[in-house]
Structure 1
């Protein structure tokens, strides 16, 4: 009897050799994978970093290689998709004291030294266009500010010197001319001169009267570099719904801080504040403020500058659109800077530099 021959065809796995995709039902990307993809196109513009002061006390550091002693270094900025960040010139001991101007100038000198020492990772910029150029060349853009307005003493000439050195944001809170009753005549002149130069006003921590007057007076959007929603957490620097609505109407920008004290101990708490600010002020008026290296305690899962994708993943999970997220991370800061640059160019043709002093306006 002849051996039986198996004439059955050789079988293959489903999809193999049939010209179809290997997996006809590919798995949906996770929220974290989607967050990384979105941030690759629309990186984070971080509204507040305390890195200069943190570096001041280190005997040696290398931000391009990585630095465990701080929350921020170039590898973590890249992992977190941070394309730009504002380096605070604030003084941890507060804005008072007779050395405010000296300390601010020392901070500026330190910032320039740090950036010069890390040319492959960092680039000092002033304008929205320069941010784009830095990103195209693989550098993290660094903008200078906020600084305390006490550094001006009583002279707008000092404001112009600080602007020449690169300052882009000035915090009004804590000065004699921006108090509980609002801006004095000198304070109003200071805001006008800031508009002429392209220096943005920061009203985080300022009184409601000062914030409202700055919003009404300024020809460019006003920033709140470290403010969340007071309706959710009654921190003094957080904004009431009334002020959030006014900020939205003026096309300003509320940059929500990633701190346990102001927003809560978890990434969900931070997302709650972002939801609230978006709903009250509008999606064009909300941004992010890492506040890393400022001495603040950060929520779980947001311990350093590399963790932004986890926050964006939570917002995707909540239904934020890609358009809203692109504004939150990158677009809103670009809009504000472009507005300030355009307004300054126009104002410098119409308005002479102001040399006003407090004694001339507020004591007359």
Structure 2
């Protein structure tokens, strides 16, 4: 990944992006929270740990699931979905990325319009549940929501079709709150890699603070994004291909490259990608941590996406079971704090820092796909 310091002299914020000491919220319990008892059973220790270091869940399919319900109340609990406020509280979920992905087949203006409808639905749902949910658009707002006892709701990822091959639509979606865009499926990010327009789209994403999601992208696209981007890169739903040969999972060489670039791999809690048990998920987390580093691994519940989930991880209340398994394997609390909370914060802060640097040297792009790829 291109070095930020090629673009801007170091400031105190650069240091904030470099090490764990920059994330006191990932190392210290909030006032009044008891330290986990080392002699307690792993599940009790997991609950105690998560009370101070909640989960930032990287992917939820809840918006599309709610769109098909005639009525719902997430505050009271909703049996028709995997995610509601009582279960998020039980699972110690502090932040949740709500996917704006659409069913296959939507393209062009229909995809743009449906994405905006999805985005509007998310904001409507959050407004209807003010005691449990709060919109957040960056790392500081996620922390504020957590400190107020609310689950922070972030917008994204959206599919590449959402931008309609338009820089203006990309910027408009960012203004509305979008933070993550999935590149797979775009004509400008195909099996042959990024086109000239795709590279310009990525630079514009860097300039406005939209993270590139590379889950499902081709090897050529992944390689070119690593070379071009100045912001951290993200895989919202990818596990280890060495353990399970799913096409969206990452080979070991990409995991090592991700670690060198200080990106983030969010391991999905799906039986198809990680296996049928919580132990299988933990195996993938172990593998990603070993190759990419503790600063480069997180989790995506992938709830309400239509996927089957491993045993003991059926819904958003089940994160303590996963943390208990990792505690029993000897994960340190500092590494767990990065996994659950700190790494997502780092990614968002890194994207915002890159955007501020880029805005000092670049005007908004007016590039059109017909001019660059025609």
TM-score of the superposed pair, with normalisation by structure 2: 0.89
Matched, 1:265 2:300: no
The SS at the match of 1:65 is coil
Q: Aligned Cα RMSD in Å?
A: 1.2
C-alpha displacement of 1:215: 1.5
Matched, 1:349 2:360: yes
Mark the runs of 5 or more structure 1 residues left unpaired by the alignment.
1-25
| Structure 2 match to 1:141 | 152
**Higher Cα Rg, which structure:** 1
Aligned residue runs from structure 1 range 247-286, under 5 A: 247-286=258-297
Matched, 1:193 2:204: yes
Distance 2:85 2:106 in 1: 29
Matched, 1:209 2:232: no
Distance 2:116 2:226 in 1: 28
Matched, 1:128 2:123: no
Matched, 1:67 2:87: no
Distance 1:95 1:263, change over 3 A: farther
| Structure 2 match to 1:317 | 328
Distance 2:104 2:350 in 1: 33
Aligned residue runs from structure 1 range 83-98, under 5 A: 83-93=94-104, 96=107
The SS at the match of 1:47 is strand
CA deviation map 1:144-176 (0-9, x unaligned): 000011121221100001001100000000011
Aligned length: 338
CA deviation map 1:257-305 (0-9, x unaligned): 0000000000011001001000111111000000000000000000000
Aligned residue runs from structure 1 range 1-364, under 5 A: 28-93=39-104, 96=107, 99-363=110-374
CA contact (8 A) 1:95 1:174 kept: no
Distance 1:236 1:209, change over 3 A: same
CA contact (8 A) 1:95 1:148 kept: no
Distance 1:348 1:30, change over 3 A: same
C-alpha displacement of 1:349: 2.1
CA deviation map 1:203-225 (0-9, x unaligned): 00000110111112111110000
TM-score of the superposed pair, with normalisation by structure 1: 0.91
Distance 1:77 1:318 in 2: 25
